[in-house]
């Protein structure tokens, strides 16, 4: 694997791209989608790059004809993007279908994954990896980005469904202020904006989830991951130490690990400490969403631990 830090070199030069034909359809080499992936076409490429101003975009370049193995990498990235819940958007680029984009990006070979942060590209990896190794690599990247203050999230898209010509799923304008704050790295303002929405409508599930995630980002700002894990290992029943690592696991995409850590903590503790652990876990459930199968499983495990 070839992994490099986000050195933010020059922005993508699109001047060499030809205009798209008006009747161009979606790329025929589509590998399937998720809520946080999009099949790249000439029409939505620019807007996808621009969305990296909110949160990173990973462009996965592949070719079904020249290197079939590269399709598997692209598909795995799309699958994993759901686990990371908007920390990055995967742009799936079939270079046979959109060769102009590969030329504009000066792609030397495939497979290739390029990370775009704030509109600027940096090569991320050039090998086909087993999905577990790919998950680990992405976790490391997300943790590096979080430590650097890059903490925005993409809005989910209709999985496998159509998007607009600009590549974006429609966003409810009520959440624009909070999303803008996240995109600008102003976590405190995002918390305040989501709180306003929830105060106005306590039944707003999306605002509740957004508030829970913004508070998670707020709690983990500036936290050293290695030190937090060491503290948790040294004090397995310390609620503050364990909940902090659970928060960091959430940020890294290890949602089930975060849930399991706190379920085990609930099982080992009693009284106020048990209640604190339970309340924190319920907050993480809210950040992920009550319809998520991992949350449903987590609730079952929590009930078992309590009773």
- Mean per-residue pLDDT, 125-130: 89
- Residues 147-162: tens digit of each pLDDT: 777 777 887 775 444 3
The residue assigned the tokens 């706190």 is 262
Can you give the pLDDT at residue 32? 55
Q: Which of 138, 170, 202 delimits the end of a domain?
A: 170
Residues 89 and 160 in one domain: yes
Q: Which of 58, 72, 194, 171 is nearest to 125 (CA)?
A: 58
Which of 13-27, 81-95, 100-114 is predicted least confidently? 13-27
Cβ atoms of residues 263 and 283 within 8 Å: no
- Residues 1-22: tens digit of each pLDDT: 333 333 333 333 333 333 333 3
Indicate the angle between helix axes 205-220 and 271-288, nearest 10 degrees: 120
Q: Which of 170, 198, 216 delimits the end of a domain?
A: 170
Q: Which of 68, 104, 73 is nearest to 90 (CA)?
A: 73
Q: What is the mean pLDDT of the chain?
A: 81
Sign of the dihedral through C-alpha 200, 204, 210, 216: positive
Residues 224 and 114 in one domain: no
Which domain does 199 fall in, by range?
Answer: 175-306
Residues 93 and 209 in one domain: no
Is the pLDDT confidence value at 222 over 80? yes
What element of type H or E holds 117? strand 112-117
Can you give the pLDDT at residue 205? 76
27: Cβ contacts below 8 Å, ≥ 6 apart: 39, 40, 41, 92, 94, 97, 98
What is the phi/psi pair of residue 59, to 5°? Answer: -90, 120
> Three-state DSSP class for 212?
helix
In the chain, the number of structural domains is 2
What is the phi/psi pair of residue 22, to 5°? Answer: -60, -30
pTM: 0.49
């Amino acid at each position: 694997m070839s992994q490099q830090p986000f050195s933010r070199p020059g922005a993508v030069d699109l001047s060499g791209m030809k205009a798209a034909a008006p009747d161009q359809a979606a790329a025929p080499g589509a590998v399937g989608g998720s809520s946080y992936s999009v099949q790249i076409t000439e029409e939505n490429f620019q807007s996808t790059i621009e969305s990296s101003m909110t949160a990173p975009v990973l462009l996965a370049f592949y070719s079904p004809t020249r290197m079939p193995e590269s399709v598997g990498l692209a598909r795995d990235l799309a699958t994993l993007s759901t686990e990371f819940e908007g920390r990055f958007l995967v742009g799936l680029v079939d270079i046979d279908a959109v060769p102009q984009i590969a030329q504009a990006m000066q792609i030397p070979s495939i497979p290739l994954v390029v990370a775009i942060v704030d509109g600027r590209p940096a090569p991320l990896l050039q090998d086909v990896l087993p999905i577990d190794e790919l998950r680990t690599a992405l976790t490391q990247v997300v943790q590096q980005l979080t430590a650097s203050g890059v903490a925005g999230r993409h809005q989910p898209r209709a999985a496998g469904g159509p998007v607009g010509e600009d590549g974006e799923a429609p966003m409810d304008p009520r959440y624009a202020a909070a999303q803008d704050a996240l995109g600008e790295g102003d976590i405190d303002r995002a918390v305040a904006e989501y709180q306003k929405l929830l105060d106005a409508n306590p039944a707003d599930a999306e605002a509740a989830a957004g508030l829970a995630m913004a508070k998670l980002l707020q709690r983990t700002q500036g936290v050293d991951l290695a030190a937090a894990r060491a503290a948790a290992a040294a004090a397995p029943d310390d609620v503050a130490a364990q909940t902090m690592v659970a928060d960091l696991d959430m940020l890294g995409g290890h949602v089930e690990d975060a849930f399991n850590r706190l379920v085990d903590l609930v099982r080992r503790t009693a009284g106020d400490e048990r209640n604190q652990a339970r309340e924190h876990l319920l907050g993480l459930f809210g950040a992920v969403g009550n319809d998520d199968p991992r949350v449903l499983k987590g609730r079952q495990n929590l009930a078992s631990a309590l009773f």
